[in-house]
């Protein structure tokens, strides 16, 4: 099922949903209505037990070029600008595992959007940059923290302080993306990976996502203790019982998100 044939489209096929940023004439740069649309899709996906994994991608030459700069002067004050709804916050609010299929330019907020995803795949023509410093400001959607966690503070500093782009080979070497693929293979590989994740126990998958994020925010001892608590929660689910039974009976498990 496909909804909203506008600038942020949602296509649900079985247990996998695909969110597509579809404003190619503007390199998929976000406007406030697009942010609202994305937030609405995320809320729907969070409430849909049938969807177990999500792919985020773009159309045309770009994954996303960040915010539409032409609209930034519409904010009456810096305070209003700072309190605007943010598309990066919207994607981070998605509880389901999400894969960024970076098909082209991922610039500024577009790279932040990809960093907000759990896994990043890239097509060979993709380019990554944090160009805000060239315009007189810095990223505000988690750029510094997420980038430093992803590629290390030194590499993050190179990107943040120069604003210059990196290619997919560098992105792969630095750990910004997990895989680099020919452009024609990107969508299929993203769906394949999403389908694999969707076949796993959904409560455990969402818990693993939450645990990974928490691990960056806690000291080691607390992180291990928190993980053990989450493991106990998962162990008490019907899916965990089904997983053990399927293992003993040598059959594929049938997970019900219970």
CA–CA distance, 2 with 41 (Å, rounded to integer): 11
The torsion angles phi and psi of 123, rounded to 5 degrees, stand at -80, 155
Cβ of 256: how many Cβ atoms within 10 Å? 13
| Total count of residues recorded for the chain | 258
Q: Check residue 169 and report its DSSP letter.
A: H
Name the catalytic one among 7, 124, 132, 206: 132
Structure token digits, residue 58: 């773009």
Q: Which of 199, 204, 67, 192 is nearest to 140 (CA)?
A: 67
3-state secondary structure of 159: helix
Q: Quick one: angle between helices 143-151 and 153-162, nearest 10?
A: 130
CB atoms within 10 A of CB 75: 14
227 is catalytic: no
Q: Say if CB 195 and CB 16 are below 8 A apart.
A: yes
The C-alpha atoms of residue 161 and residue 169 are separated, in whole angstroms, by: 20
Check if 132 is active-site: yes
Tokens of 194: 């999403």
Looking up tokens 């247990």 gives: 15
- Determine the straight-line distance between the first and last CA of the chain, rounded to whole angstroms: 25
Annotated catalytic residue, options 7, 112, 179, 238 = 112
Residues that are catalytic? 112, 132
């Amino acid at each position: 099922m496909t909804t909203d044939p506008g600038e942020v489209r949602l296509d649900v096929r079985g247990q996998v949903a695909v969110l597509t940023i579809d404003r190619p004439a503007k390199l998929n740069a976000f406007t406030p209505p697009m942010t609202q649309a994305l937030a609405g899709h995320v809320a729907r996906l969070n409430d849909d037990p049938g969807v177990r994994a999500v792919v985020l991608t773009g159309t045309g030459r770009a994954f996303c070029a960040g915010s539409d700069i032409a609209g930034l002067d519409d904010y009456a004050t810096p305070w209003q600008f700072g309190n605007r709804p943010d598309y990066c916050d919207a994607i981070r609010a998605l509880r389901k595992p999400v894969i960024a299929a970076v098909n082209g330019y991922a610039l500024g907020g577009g790279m932040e959007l990809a960093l907000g995803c759990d896994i990043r795949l890239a097509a060979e023509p993709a380019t990554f940059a944090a160009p805000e410093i060239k315009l007189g400001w810095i990223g505000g959607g988690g750029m510094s923290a997420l980038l430093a966690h992803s590629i290390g503070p030194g590499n993050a500093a190179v990107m943040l302080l120069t604003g210059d782009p990196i290619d997919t080979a560098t992105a792969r070497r630095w750990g910004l993306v997990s895989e680099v693929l020919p452009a024609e293979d990107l969508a299929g590989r993203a769906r394949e990976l999403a389908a694999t994740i969707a076949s796993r126990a959904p409560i455990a998958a969402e818990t693993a996502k939450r645990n990974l994020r928490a691990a960056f925010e806690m000291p080691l001892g607390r992180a291990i203790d928190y993980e053990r608590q989450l493991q106990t929660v998962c162990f008490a689910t019907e899916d965990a019982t089904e997983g053990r039974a399927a293992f003993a009976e040598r059959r594929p498990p049938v997970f019900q998100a219970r």
